[in-house]
Structure 1
Amino acid sequence: MYKLCYFVPESHLEQTKQALFDAGAGKIGDYDSCAWQCEGEGQFRPLAGSDPFLGSQGELERVREFKVELVCSDELIKPAVYALKQAHPYEEPAYEVYRLETF
């Protein structure tokens, strides 16, 4: 089992979650579409050669974003990450994948 965490602007929050649920992520026992999310502020500066969804090259951008966390089974983690990248508006989406232990 893995935990997948990612950061996304509100405009694409539901779209990215649905893409992950469609890929099989977010299932816990007899429940699906399970996720946890919280609002915060992200920042980044697009560098030369980038094609930013938000902001301008060389300018520091701050944006309201959500951090979303959900679980994913071992056999579905790669398709889930692919689905996230396809649904996410950013050229380089920020995400984290953690292996979970069962006790």
Structure 2
Amino acid sequence: MAEPLVVIVVYVPHHDSDAVRRVLDEAGAGRIGDYRGCSWSTSGTGRFTPLAGAQPTIGAVGEPEQVAEDRIEVVAPRSRARQIVEAMLAGHPYEEPAYHVIPVLTLDQL
């Protein structure tokens, strides 16, 4: 049976998406069979209001902000997920990036 996988999803300002995809690839995410750097993206609008104590990359404390963002999804081996997420966080431009990690069921597990 193949190693368990997860899907890592992260929201990134559009102009930083390629850099974050590179970080994910270099950390070992996005490998499917004989391919690497595999990802899927869609564009949307991120909305947030930085609170007191925040040091926002974009926007100002107390002011609602809207940013063109990409939702990036990659698969990763469960055993490397923590290291990959830590690398993604280190390479992400936001102070507090939104992300989540989702377990994957393979055909054998259905």
Where on the TM-score scale, by shorter chain, does this alignment land: which range?
over 0.9
CA deviation map 1:69-103 (0-9, x unaligned):
01000121011101110110100000010011111
Give the whole-Å Cα distance in 1 for the aligned partners of 2:59 and 2:15.
15
Give the whole-Å Cα distance in 2 for the aligned partners of 1:4 and 1:16.
12
In structure 1, the partner of 2:86 is: 82
Give the whole-Å Cα distance in 2 for the aligned partners of 1:60 and 1:84.
25
Query: How far is the alpha carbon of 1:30 from its aligned partner?
Result: 1.2
> Please, which runs of 5 or more residues in structure 2 have no aligned partner?
none
Give the whole-Å Cα distance in 2 for the aligned partners of 1:4 and 1:15.
16
CA deviation map 1:33-62 (0-9, x unaligned):
100001110100000000000000001000
TM-score with structure 2 length normalisation? 0.91
In structure 1, the partner of 2:67 is: 63
In structure 2, the partner of 1:18 is: 22
Aligned length: 103
Instruction: Check if 1:37 corresponds to 2:51.
Output: no
Give the whole-Å Cα distance in 1 for the aligned partners of 2:80 and 2:15.
25
Aligned residue identity for 1:67: R
TM-score with structure 1 length normalisation? 0.97
Query: Once superposed, which parts of structure 1, at least 4 consecutive aligned residues long, lie more than 4 Å away?
Result: none
**Higher alpha-carbon Rg:** 2
Percent sequence identity is 40
Give the whole-Å Cα distance in 2 for the aligned partners of 1:29 and 1:96.
23
Aligned residue identity for 1:86: A
Query: How far is the alpha carbon of 1:11 from its aligned partner?
Result: 2.1
Give the whole-Å Cα distance in 2 for the aligned partners of 1:53 and 1:25.
25
